[in-house]
Amino acid sequence: MSYDLVVIGTGPGGYVCAIRAAQLGLKTAVVEKRKTHGGTCLNVGCIPSKALLHASHMFEDARDHFAKLGIGINPPKLDLKQMQSFKQEGVDGNTKGVEFLLKKNKIDVFQGTARIAAAGQVEVTGEDGSNQLVQTKNIVIATGSDVARLPGIEIDEKTIVSSTGALELQSVPKRLVVIGAGVIGLELGSVWRRLGSEVTVVEYLDRILPGMDGDVAKNFQRILSKQGFQFKLGAKVTKAEKGAKGVTLTFEPAAGGNPEKIEADVVLVAIGRVPYTQGLGLDELGVQKDNRGRILTDAHFSTNVTGIYAIGDVIAGPMLAHKAEDEGVAVAEILAGKAGHVNYDVIPSVVYTFPEVASVGKTEEELKAAGIAYNVGKFPFTANGRAKVNHTTDGFVKVLADATTDKVLGVHIIGAEAGNLIHEAVIAMEFGGSSEDIARSCHAHPTLAEAVKEAALAVEKRAIHM
Ligand SMILES: Cc1cc2nc3c(=O)[nH]c(=O)nc-3n(C[C@H](O)[C@H](O)[C@H](O)COP(=O)(O)OP(=O)(O)OC[C@H]3O[C@@H](n4cnc5c(N)ncnc54)[C@H](O)[C@@H]3O)c2cc1C
């Protein structure tokens, strides 16, 4: 068997890369060791977490907010087994969708674990131990990432869980402690808080959502605290002891000091993810990695070994499904002789809590550090008609624009639908737009998107409803 391209891994990076390559006429195959396609994202990441976020949000709405809307119901009863089936149905629908797309695009699928025997040769080992050698002009590594672990704290996926175990809990833990105040920890913490857990988040840094705009993080922490989240910031977890009644977690101030203990029924370790390259044979081939284990690539996604490329979570950049997808498209286009490219300055990121948090471009901290003069336009959802009528007034839109040219450099939103609203800013920024461009675009009334227009107007201090 001989191909133009073999893609290793069918997560959002790999399967999208394979489809684009096939569209462009390359004879393409994929290798996947999981039984289903879609990688982390579809199986144990984006999709199942969003299913549980949606269902738990509905549950909380029915329990706490319906009465205010004039909808009288008996207090809703949680059927967690059914909620988990709802989640699984969503996962199955999506993974089968990828299977269909691979078939439709005439992409050959090899089920098994891939090892790169040499440039141009991929060895596939099936579950039954069978071996196949596949010849190919080019190889794209899209093997993704794995859960990062804390030394000395063993994840058993029952009482000490990773995100994977936290998506599978069969009962609501009374006390959930989340280690790590990043996106995954706050999303899954939200799911279980809505369903009844007391949630405490322990974070090493003195802030939540590291990397996001500081003003946004501070405001968002206030909103989450109002919802019942407890935070222990600047705290370093040193020990987790399992007992008959759960887990005793020991932590101490990150700057040094006396240790404290906290009891939990379940502990979620959500301190990040690490690139996954196990068993690929990269060391033998001399493929270079950086000091964080990420495969080093050039601007064309090529490793230092001719014919071997890498994309997605396994290389540098934000560990996000859409970043992996865009890289998949770009490398397929490059291999087909086109000009594939990813604009890393305009990659949105979203926290799918309620309210949502969404951001694109530079934060205020980044602009200050780079010495770039900027103007800020901020508009609160309390002054947006639609948010007011819906009682979803938590949050704001913040537009950061270059002080000289007015070019939009960053947009940060906390609010209902923030994850959809951010795309207006993404398009404006992709086209090199200014805050005035957004401000002069007609926005339908009454929509939450009017807050984006008002924030753009606020850059020149001419917001109407504030
Ligand atoms: C709980 C959670 C929630 C998330 N939510 C979001 C979200 O809302 N939005 C977002 O953008 N991102 C989210 N992410 C991150 C997102 O899932 C990843 O960024 C994305 O899946 C990376 O895609 P990828 O193609 O690089 O790798 P992956 O999706 O990790 O896929 C890699 C694939 O390669 C396969 N593989 C590995 N080694 C081999 C081998 N040797 N041979 C054959 N196959 C192999 C694996 O089985 C896997 O299927 C979330 C992650 C988690 C854990």
- 3.30.365.10, 3.30.470.30, 3.50.50.60, 3.40.50.720: which CATH number matches 160-271? 3.50.50.60
Class of domain 346-459: alpha beta
Can you spell out the DSSP letters for 201-246?
EE-SSSSSSTTS-HHHHHHHHHHHHHHT-EEE-SEEEEEEEEETTE
Task: Compute the distance from residue 355 Cα to the ligand 1 centre, in Å.
Answer: 25
User: Does pLDDT of 332 surpass 90?
Assistant: yes
User: Does pLDDT of 245 surpass 90?
Assistant: no
Mean local confidence (pLDDT), 74-83? 97
**Closest C-alpha among 140, 455, 454 to residue 295:** 140
> Confidence class of residue 239 from pLDDT cuts 50, 70 and 90?
very high
Mean local confidence (pLDDT), 64-79? 96
The answer to whether residues 443 and 455 touch, using CB atoms and an 8 Å cutoff, is: no
Q: Is 183 in the pocket of ligand 1 (CB under 6 A)?
A: no
**Tally of residues, the chain:** 466
- The CATH number assigned to the domain with range 2-147+274-342 reads 3.50.50.60
Q: What pLDDT, in 10s, does the model give residues 389-447? A: 999 999 999 999 999 999 999 999 999 999 999 999 999 999 999 999 999 999 999 99
Task: Compute the distance from residue 39 Cα to the ligand 1 centre, in Å.
Answer: 5
The answer to whether residues 188 and 166 touch, using CB atoms and an 8 Å cutoff, is: yes
The answer to whether residues 355 and 206 touch, using CB atoms and an 8 Å cutoff, is: no
Q: Is 180 in the pocket of ligand 1 (CB under 6 A)?
A: no
Task: Compute the distance from residue 432 Cα to the ligand 1 centre, in Å.
Answer: 31
User: Domain coordinates of the chain in residue numbers?
Assistant: 2-147+274-342, 160-271, 346-459
pLDDT of residue 143: 98
Q: Find how far residue 281's CA is from the centre of its chain.
A: 28
Q: What pLDDT, in 10s, does the model give residues 365-388? A: 999 999 999 999 999 999 999 999
> Confidence class of residue 1 from pLDDT cuts 50, 70 and 90?
confident
Pocket test for ligand 1, best of 7, 37, 46 (most atoms within 8 A of CB): 46
* Closest ligand 1 atom number to CA of residue 14: 25
User: Does pLDDT of 326 surpass 90?
Assistant: yes
Q: What pLDDT, in 10s, does the model give residues 26-59? A: 999 999 999 999 999 999 999 999 999 999 999 9
For the chain, the average pLDDT equals 97
CA-proximal residue: ligand 1, atom 53 (nearest)? 45
Tokens of 31: 């290798």
Crossing angle of helices 321-335 and 12-23, in 10° steps, is: 30
Q: Is 161 in the pocket of ligand 1 (CB under 6 A)?
A: no
CA atoms 56, 60, 63, 68: torsion sign? negative
pLDDT of residue 298: 98
Are the folds of 2-147+274-342 and 160-271 the same? yes
pTM: 0.98
In eight-state DSSP terms, residue 47 is H
Q: What pLDDT, in 10s, does the model give residues 174-212? A: 999 999 999 999 999 999 999 999 999 999 999 999 999
